[in-house]
Amino acid sequence: MPWTPRLTTAGLFIGALAAGALGFACGDPGPENAGSPCVGPADCYENVAHEDLAGEVVCVDKVEYGYCTHDCQSDADCCAIPGECRTGVLQVCSPFENTDTKRCFLSCEAADLAPGYEGEPDRYCSEYMFADWTCASSGGGSENRKICKP
């Protein structure tokens, strides 16, 4: 299946990148709900009814500045309702650091990279989310995935 961009203009994309790069540590919610900085679940998915999401909303505190996400069973549970996802960054459902619970994370798997980023997943993560983000293992054991994270 070909990658389908959800951003409407290059200007929106560049604006989101600039805002994300400058605002991450200052509490800017970022271009995407998943991966946004947080202190607790109330900081996450602010414009989406938490009970409508496929699973419980979580602020992962094992990531610097926190990482908004929610529980899931499959990739289809991520971006499943209107407003949940704001960009064309695809998401994967994966355990994080060898836990049994799966959560939605921003994907940087080879098949999910935007055109022009083939073989450059770190650049993809830093340009689509925040300047210091990289592509790394979710640490999910046998269900390990490649995700964008700080």
Q: Are 41 and 59 in contact (CB under 8 A)?
A: yes
Please give the model's pTM, rounded to 2 decimal places: 0.80
C-alpha span between 45 and 1 (Å, rounded): 28
Helices (H), the chain: 10-23, 121-128
**Phi and psi at residue 39, to the nearest 5°:** -110, -30
Lowest mean per-residue pLDDT among 36-45, 51-60, 94-103: 94-103
pLDDT digits over 8-18, tens only?
Answer: 333 333 333 33
Neighbours of 22 (CB within 10 A): 12
More confident residue, 1 or 74: 74
**Cβ-defined contacts of 42-49 (< 8 Å, 24+):** 43/68, 44/68, 44/69, 44/70, 45/70, 45/84, 47/83, 48/81, 48/83, 48/84
Residue 140 has pLDDT above 60, yes or no: yes
C-alpha span between 149 and 49 (Å, rounded): 24
